Amino acid sequence: MSNYTVTLKRVCDVYGEQNVLNWFKSYSLYDYLTTDEVSTIGYLKVFSMDTLAKMILNHYYFREIAFETPEMFKHFAITKLREIMRNLRSFNLFSFA
């Protein structure tokens, strides 16, 4: 039960779960990785935008969004995800290749 702001579950109830999932898929791997790296990810099946979005949603589903409005949450969620993706290269995922 939320005390100060709504939960992510409530946001899903209002906006639709698929729309909220799409917020966490609003990027392209090609913006952050080379074509070869994206191909390697696809070949090895080590990453899926759909899986990552669902994991994020499930992890935070019953937590408060901590923003005054769902639109503010959406903006900061997308911004944070893009920051993480921008730093993807620093994780050395492709050192085996």
**pLDDT, tens only, 17-28:** 999 999 988 888
Task: Check pLDDT > 70 for residue 89.
Answer: no
Q: Is residue 73 part of a domain?
A: yes
Furthest CA-CA distance within the chain: 49
Number of domains, the chain: 1
Q: Is residue 96 part of a domain?
A: no
Least confident residue range of 4-8, 34-38, 51-55, 57-61:
34-38
Tokens at 19, concatenated: 């729309």
Q: Is residue 97 part of a domain?
A: no
Q: How far apart are CA 52 and CA 13, in angstroms?
A: 20
Tokens at 2, concatenated: 């939320």
Non-local CB neighbours of 62 within 8 Å, separated by 6+ positions: 7, 8, 9
- Report whether 96 contacts 46 (CB < 8 A): no
> Which structural domain, as residue segments, surrounds residue 72?
8-90
Q: Is residue 68 part of a domain?
A: yes
- The mean predicted confidence, pLDDT, of the chain is 85
Query: Tell me: the pLDDT tens digits for 33-52?
Result: 888 888 888 888 877 888 88
Q: Is residue 74 part of a domain?
A: yes
Residue with tokens 């911004």: 79
Q: Is residue 27 part of a domain?
A: yes
Selection from 44, 54, 38, 51 nearest residue 88 by Cα = 38
